[in-house]
Structure 1
Amino acid sequence: MFQIFRTPKQPFLFCNLKNVFLLLILFNSTIVLCQDGQLDLTFSSYLEAGSSVYAITQQNDNKILIGGLLGDNYNFTRLNEDGTIDNTFMPVTIFNFVSSIAVNDRNEIFIAGGSPSYIKKLNQDGSEDQTFNFEGISGSGSIREVKVLDNGKIIIAGNFNQIGNTTISAVARLNADGSLDSSFNLNFPPFVSIRTLEVQPDGKIIVAGQYYTIYEIFRRYLPNGSIDTSFNGDESYYIYDIKYQDNGKIMIAGPFSEYSGITRHNVARLNNDGTLDTSFDSYNLPQNGTTYTIFNILVLDDGNYILSGSFNTYDGLPSKYLAKIEADGTINSSFDVELGPDYFVWDVFEQNDGKILIGGDFTNYNGTPINGIARLTNTSLSTDNYELKNWINIYPTVFEDKLNIDFNGSSQDTSTSFVEVFSLSGNLILSENILDSKSLYLDFLNSGTYILKITDKAQFFATTIIKR
């Protein structure tokens, strides 16, 4: 049988068979798994060599949308959960690059980037939604960010001075049909470029960018477009990314070495009023202009963060282009990328099952060839949720071709449960959602010992299984 564990902040690890057997003795044949940050071998990138992924998001059916420079005229595509190209999605819209993708609760897709399309709304087959009529950007320019609001309107930000025949700079709001919402204007002068934008749950909008590539912009606006005078952001620094947290704190990242005169290397946390939150520190990330910096911050459900960018150490420890840090800014050593990706990581996305998708310029991860996008293990879970009940039975643990997973007639909600099978070296072999009692067909495995892990919300258990 198995035992149930509360998920520790620093999980037990095994790196060789000696450690495996020791853990089997200690935990009555039930073991805990390897470090996070390892390549998920059930996910394969089918992108062309030289592809760069700048934007990742996931639909509510778990299909994955990606965009960037993908070696074709469209520069965006949709993937199945295993990383294969979704052949039911056939793009017809041309972008010279894609920088942002948004999907709303109705699975409506918005793609934004460069010319000639700038922003399009797509149907589920990849065709253009003909009811969406964006007038286009006059002259040169691009859209860097697209956000869909709860009321169906769309916020766009980037480098532009005119939409259709209307003069409007850097940030605009569109109606649901793509037309310009003339009631909203932040009144930026020409030659403002907004790099990043975040919309708070209360509708306030935080923007960061530059004016004439000299003067920095970091401001918050009310939903009606007027300046929020309660926000005291320091406009001395170029900011690449902004993330708003549920507790009202604000994370920022970019090529800066301080904030309001206090040392902070490339990442800082702010209070809701824009002042520095001194309970979070950044630890010795090399600061050298844009050579070593952070492009993206992912706020995890457990309160930790994953940083991505062009850096290669954090707090003096090797951490190539990726680092997982605690809520106070210290590095989380359970997330070990080892050699990691071989080049920059531009975007990081947390899937519904907690696994991490990364997109960038890389062509391999820990020496394994994979172009532009990869999925990483991330099993460290919060310990703040309910007690997991002993309501699952797994049999037989020595099997020929299949295992049975039985919920014993429980009414427990299993919509967030999933099962994984690992090799003894920690490589992920299979991952599936569990929606009900099921048979798990494993006839493709070679004879030997494997690890079965079932996760539900904040807890998991793992046990050895043997294939005859």
Structure 2
Amino acid sequence: LYTSSSYNLGEAAYVIAENLADSRETSLIDMTPESESSESADRRDAGLPVGGTYYNSDSGVRFNALERGGTSPNQWIKVQVVFDPRISVAETNLNVDEQSGTAHVVVQRKFSSSGTVSVNYATSDGTATSGDDYYPTSGTLIWSDGDMADKTIIIPIRPDVIAEGSEDLTLTLSGIVGGKLDPGASEATVSLLDAGQRIASFAPGFFNTTVYAIAPLSNGKVIIGGNIGAGIGPVSTIRHLARLDIDGSVDSSFLTGTGFNNIVRAIVVQDDGKILVGGDFTTYNGTGCNHLVRLNSNGTIDSSFVTAMGSAANNTVRSIAIETDGKILVGGDFTEFNGFSDRGLTRLTSAGARDSVNTLNLPFNTSFGTDIYSVLTEPDGKILVGGSFYVAYTGTGFRSGLARLNSDGSRDSSFEPDAGAHLSGSTNSLRTVYDVTKQSDGKYIIVGDFSAYDGNDSSRCARVNNDGTFDVAYTVPAFDNVAQTCVIQASGKAIIGGWYTSPVNRIERLNLTGSSDSSFDKGTGPS
């Protein structure tokens, strides 16, 4: 719309106010721009007088010319634009792991909450076949008057272990009543991926080095941290932390400012949405915070937490865990926290202050460095820690790299790793456990830089019983380099990531017995 002599705006509908140049008609809106051979004729062929209404049924848009006023050269006309409810799929292309068992298509109502709206939906085959690869789904979505909530269509998927590559199906919206379909988003293509296939639609494509920490959010977004920065274009200011949208693009509403001055190693999201971050850094967006900080959900710093933790850690924070009472366990390479002697592990209050009441009485031998890489809290208050340390020589080894602590930090004697993690054939060697995860049956999977556990050869990965003994039933492949992280899926299978290149490059999924899962189709893996 335009109201002055600068009126050549292409295909826009425009306002014509009286007493301007070229004998423009009084108080008119041209609803059919460029429909006549000359501009003078064009602006007179579909004028909308003040008090009139024009409705375009194809687009679902209504123009109401309400009033005009002012004197030359500052005349004006007030036009109300009203949109019908618009229905669309939130994503027109979805990638789904067929092993997940379901595909979720979100449908949105936009613009107007007025009136009841209904729309039909149905699936159809692409390269995926109904009955073999997925179950046909159809029905009707209904929004009542005032309802603007998203609706989710669930399509059941038939998983298999056959490597078929990507197969697709289409979900189509039709038969809308009470609104309009978005012509560019009235259907969704759902691609069913074999387990391990890369989701091509998630494509950050701008980070220049290494991501060390990932924290998925309930809304599908993800926070990442590491040695990242100096991107391109709108992401050129990123420093070591970013929040990504569901397609991998940077979420510009996450306000990191100038970010961190060094590497991020750990990220934990609290139940209230605040974000704990640990690493090598000493500042965030210009504010001093030694190796630990808490951010608000929008990325701004929680200044009260920074104040409460004082001088904080004197070296890298590598792991963070939240206890059932809201207190915070912090692990890393430090020897002090806020001036107090805390080697490798400390407990903070929920406000960020070092807990001076429930201090940890740690059992780690002080003649060797104590670096805690993994902290896992138990429902009974006990604490599993993995790292580079040892706890009291046993006669056959150093209890190296793994320990279970009581809530006061003392060693839980019911958990006996004996020699712990070590080099094959050398129970007196000290090695590092980088990550500890717990299975639903109470057993633990550990990964790191070791080739044996308590006298049992097991290269960089092992399963440990709840009492700390080696699980002989879990036989893993021979990883040729460090295994850095482990995630256990709902199926009980374990995904192992690290620096290894054999038996595959850097990512592998293990079956319940520890063997490589041949159905996990990762191709050549990350390069």
* TM-score, normalised with respect to structure 2: 0.47
Q: Which amino acid aligns with 2:409?
A: G
> 1:428 and 1:360 mapped to 2: Cα distance?
18
> 1:153 and 1:60 mapped to 2: Cα distance?
19
Identify the residue that residue 249 of structure 1 maps to in structure 2. Answer: 327
> 1:158 and 1:363 mapped to 2: Cα distance?
27
Q: Does 1:170 align with 2:170?
A: no
Query: Aligned to 2:299, which of 221, 225, 228?
Result: 225
Q: Which amino acid aligns with 2:255?
A: N
Q: What do the CA deviations read for 1:227-252 (whole angstroms, capped 9, x no partner)? A: 11221224342211111223211000
What does residue range 259-338 of structure 1 map to in structure 2 within 5 Å? 259-278=337-356, 279-287=358-366, 291-313=369-391, 318-338=398-418
Report how far residue 90 of structure 1 moved: 11
Q: What do the CA deviations read for 1:289-323 (whole angstroms, capped 9, x no partner)? A: 8x432111111222101111111126999421111
Q: Does 1:362 align with 2:446?
A: no
State the identity as a percent.
31
In the alignment, structure 2 segments of 5+ residues that lack a partner are 1-98, 102-159, 167-191, 423-430, 475-527
Question: Is contact 1:206–1:219 with CA below 8 Å preserved after alignment?
Answer: yes
Identify the residue that residue 255 of structure 2 maps to in structure 1. Answer: 185
Larger Rg: 2
Q: 1:60 to 1:305 in 2, by over 3 A?
A: farther
> 1:230 and 1:315 mapped to 2: Cα distance?
42
Q: Which amino acid aligns with 1:144?
A: Y
What does residue range 121-200 of structure 1 map to in structure 2 within 5 Å? 123-138=193-208, 141-165=209-233, 166=235, 167-189=237-259, 191-200=261-270
Q: Which amino acid aligns with 2:293?
A: R
In the alignment, structure 1 segments of 5+ residues that lack a partner are 1-58, 62-85, 93-121, 381-424, 431-468
Query: Aligned to 2:436, which of 348, 353, 359?
Result: 348
Question: Is contact 1:296–1:307 with CA below 8 Å preserved after alignment?
Answer: yes
Question: Is contact 1:258–1:265 with CA below 8 Å preserved after alignment?
Answer: yes
Q: Which amino acid aligns with 1:237?
A: N
Q: 1:90 to 1:273 in 2, by over 3 A?
A: farther
Q: Which amino acid aligns with 1:218?
A: L
Q: 1:336 to 1:164 in 2, by over 3 A?
A: same
Identify the residue that residue 460 of structure 2 maps to in structure 1. Answer: 372
Q: 1:331 to 1:90 in 2, by over 3 A?
A: farther
Aligned length: 272
> 1:202 and 1:316 mapped to 2: Cα distance?
43
Question: Is contact 1:300–1:350 with CA below 8 Å preserved after alignment?
Answer: no
Q: What do the CA deviations read for 1:184-241 (whole angstroms, capped 9, x no partner)? A: 1322357421121111111101112234899833111100111112212243422111
Q: 1:257 to 1:368 in 2, by over 3 A?
A: same
What does residue range 48-87 of structure 1 map to in structure 2 within 5 Å? none
Q: 1:284 to 1:185 in 2, by over 3 A?
A: same
* Poorly superposed stretches of 4+, deviation over 4 Å: 86-92, 212-215, 314-318, 425-430
What does residue range 105-120 of structure 1 map to in structure 2 within 5 Å? none
> 1:302 and 1:60 mapped to 2: Cα distance?
31
Query: Aligned to 1:235, which of 300, 309, 312?
Result: 312
Question: Is contact 2:331–2:346 with CA below 8 Å preserved after alignment?
Answer: yes
Secondary structure class of the residue paired with 1:353: coil
Report how far residue 285 of structure 1 moved: 2.1
Q: 1:247 to 1:88 in 2, by over 3 A?
A: farther
Question: Is contact 1:285–1:315 with CA below 8 Å preserved after alignment?
Answer: no
Question: Is contact 1:266–1:287 with CA below 8 Å preserved after alignment?
Answer: no
Q: What do the CA deviations read for 1:259-298 (whole angstroms, capped 9, x no partner)? A: 2222222111110111112313132523478x43211111
> 1:136 and 1:208 mapped to 2: Cα distance?
23
> 2:413 and 2:402 mapped to 1: Cα distance?
12
Question: Is contact 2:262–2:282 with CA below 8 Å preserved after alignment?
Answer: yes
Secondary structure class of the residue paired with 1:170: strand
Q: Which amino acid aligns with 2:390?
A: N
Secondary structure class of the residue paired with 1:360: strand
Q: What do the CA deviations read for 1:103-161 (whole angstroms, capped 9, x no partner)? A: xxxxxxxxxxxxxxxxxxx95521111221213214xx211011110111100001112
> 2:218 and 2:361 mapped to 1: Cα distance?
34
> 2:320 and 2:419 mapped to 1: Cα distance?
28
Q: Which amino acid aligns with 1:378?
A: N
Q: Which amino acid aligns with 2:215?
A: K
> 1:293 and 1:91 mapped to 2: Cα distance?
43
> 2:362 and 2:290 mapped to 1: Cα distance?
24
Q: C-alpha root-mean-square deviation of aligned residues, in Å? A: 3.5
Q: Which amino acid aligns with 2:205?
A: E
Q: 1:308 to 1:368 in 2, by over 3 A?
A: same
Question: Is contact 2:227–2:263 with CA below 8 Å preserved after alignment?
Answer: yes
Q: 1:247 to 1:188 in 2, by over 3 A?
A: farther
Q: Which amino acid aligns with 2:354?
A: L
Q: 1:209 to 1:177 in 2, by over 3 A?
A: same
Q: Which amino acid aligns with 2:339?
A: G
Q: 1:189 to 1:90 in 2, by over 3 A?
A: farther
Q: Which amino acid aligns with 2:312?
A: E
Q: 1:376 to 1:90 in 2, by over 3 A?
A: farther
> 2:241 and 2:255 mapped to 1: Cα distance?
8
Q: Which amino acid aligns with 2:344?
A: N
Q: What do the CA deviations read for 1:344-386 (whole angstroms, capped 9, x no partner)? A: 1110001111111100111111221111111111169xxxxxx
Identify the residue that residue 202 of structure 1 maps to in structure 2. Answer: 272
